[in-house]
Amino acid sequence: MRMRAFYFNKKEIMRNTSICLLLLTALITSCGDSSLTRTLPNVTGTTGEVLVVMNRYMWDGSPGQAVREQVSPMLIGLPQEEPAFTILPVNPEGFRDIYLAHRNVIQAVVDPGKPDPEVVYARNKWAETQLVISVTAPDTAALAQCIRDNGEAIRRSINDTERERLTHWLTNSAGRARSVMKAGETQWEVVLPAGWKPDFNREGIMMISAETPSTTQSVMVSVTDRTTARIGCIELADLTQRRMSDEVKGPDGGSFMVIEQKVPVSCRSFRRNQTDYIEMRGLWTLEGGFMGGPFISCAFIDTATIRPVVVTGFVYAPREEKRELLRQVEALMYTVKKRTE
C-alpha cells in the first residue's frame, strides 16, 4: 500500500497558524479570567482540627508556643481541660496534596523583606468553605508576637467558620424537618436533624434533644413576656437561670438545673446576619442532684415585638470529651429563626 503525500502551500500554513494562535490566546485568556467558576474539592479533616504550617524550629520555639497558648488555649466553660482546637503541625515542605484542602490552615512565614507583621484571612483558597490564615513577619520573634497579639481574633475566626459549616450541614441534612413554636402571633422554628426529637413544645417555649447511651444534647428556645430594646449579660443570665430551673428537672423529680456559681461565666456581644447577639458560656449543675456539664446561652431581640428570644444549649456527657458535642449544639442554636411560611 502506497503512502499518500500531503502538501500544504505557504498561504494555507499561515492561515492555519493564525487560527491556532487565536485559539491559544483565547484559551490562555479564559484560564486567567477570575470570573469563571472554579470547582474546588471539599475540605478535609475533622471538626475542630487546625493545620499549622510551620518548620520544626519555629514549632519548638516561641511561634509554636504562641499558637498553643493563644490560638488553642484550654477552653473556658468545660468541666475538664480541653483545648480550643486539635492542632496538627506540618512542615512547609510537606504541605501539599491532601493537606492543601484541610478545613482550617494557619501558615506561619518569616519574610525579612516584610518590615511589618501581617495577618491575612482567605476563604475557599484550595477547598470549599476552607479558612486559610497567613501570618507573616520579618523574624521569629516578631512572628510570635504577631500571633499573640492576634490570637483571640484568629481563634474567633476559626470558631465562627466551624460553626457556620456545621450550621449549614445540619440544615441541609435535616431536609425540611423543623420543630415549630408559637409565640403570640409569631412562629419560631429550629432545625430538627436526624436523631433529634422534640421534648416539649408550648406557647413561647420548646426544647429538642438528642440522646445516646452516654450523652445528651439539648437546645431550648423561648420568647420572654417582657419587652425591651436591649439585653445585657445580667439580663441574659437571669432569663437563662429562670428557664433552666422551671423547665429542666433531674431524674428524681426533686432536683432542677441551675447555673454553676463556683465557676465564672464568659459573656460577649457580636453581630451575625444583621442581628445583634449576646452570648454567655458556663457550667450548669443540678440543684439537689449530682449532674452537670457545659452550656451556651444566647439572645437577640425580635424587632417586630421588641421581645428577647433566648436560645440555650447544654450537654451532659460524664465520660466523654465535650468540646465537639457543645460545638454541634452551638451550631444548631443558630438555626433558630422566625417562620415565614
CA distance 115 to 119: 13
* Nearest one of 156, 155, 120, 158 to 137, comparing CA atoms: 120
* Nearest one of 147, 144, 152, 155 to 63, comparing CA atoms: 144
128, 43 Cβ separation under 8 angstroms: yes
Global confidence as pTM: 0.84
CA distance 197 to 194: 8
CA distance 7 to 99: 53
pLDDT level of residue 7 (50, 70, 90 thresholds): very low
329, 219 Cβ separation under 8 angstroms: yes
Cell of 75: 477552653
Q: What is the mean pLDDT of the chain?
A: 88
CA distance 176 to 191: 8
pLDDT in tens, 201-212: 999 999 999 999
pLDDT in tens, 169-221: 999 988 889 999 999 889 999 999 999 999 999 999 999 999 999 999 999 99
Question: Across residues 237-253, what is the average pLDDT?
Answer: 91
Architecture of domain 49-172: 2-Layer Sandwich (3.30)
Residues facing residue 133 across a β-bridge:
106, 121
Residues facing residue 315 across a β-bridge:
217
pLDDT at 2 over 90: no
Task: Write down the domain spans for the chain.
Answer: 49-172, 176-338
- Residues of the chain with pLDDT > 70: what percent? 89
DSSP per-residue codes, 172-197: HHHTT-EEEEEETTEEEEEE--TTEE
Architecture of domain 176-338: 3-Layer(aba) Sandwich (3.40)
* Nearest one of 2, 125, 100 to 45, comparing CA atoms: 100
* Pairing relationship of beta strands 104-110 and 131-137 according to DSSP bridges: parallel
Residue 37: what pLDDT? 54
Residue 319: what pLDDT? 87
- Other Cβ atoms closer than 10 A to 288: 13
- Other Cβ atoms closer than 10 A to 146: 20
